[in-house]
Amino acid sequence: MAVDLNRALSEVEQEVNGQNGKEYDIYVKNGLSGAKTKLYVNEANELSQVFEATAKEIGLNIGEKNNIYINSKEQSSTDPEMTLGEFNVTEDSVLTIQQDAKVAACK
């Protein structure tokens, strides 16, 4: 039986943090390369948590913390503590993470 690691981690995190928000899948995309991955999230997850969970897989510099987050409505934010719910990231939408090209090239 295959275990969805993202889903399992999300469930444990919710128990620990008392999160009771809506859960769903989103797509996270590297704004420079276009690399994309699917991630199971809770609307209470912060943008920084999404970044940390997906950075390596989509080729972002994990050490870079000055990211620009762009939702499917083309709204942008640089606040890593903003939640997915606050940023209007909904089920099956794409969250693009943009890094400075000079920083991303140094990874």
> Tens of pLDDT along 49-101?
999 999 999 999 999 889 999 999 999 999 999 999 999 999 999 999 999 75
Please give the pLDDT value at position 77.
96
pLDDT value at residue 79: 96
Using alpha carbons only, give the angle 34, 36, 60 rounded to the nearest 5 degrees.
Answer: 70
Characterise 18 by phi-psi region: left (phi > 0), alpha (psi -120 to 50), beta (else).
left
- The pTM for the full model equals 0.77
Average the pLDDT over 1-29 and give the result: 73
Structural domains of the chain, with CATH: 5-104 (3.10.20.90)
pLDDT tens digits, 20-59: 689 999 999 999 999 999 999 999 999 999 999 999 999 9
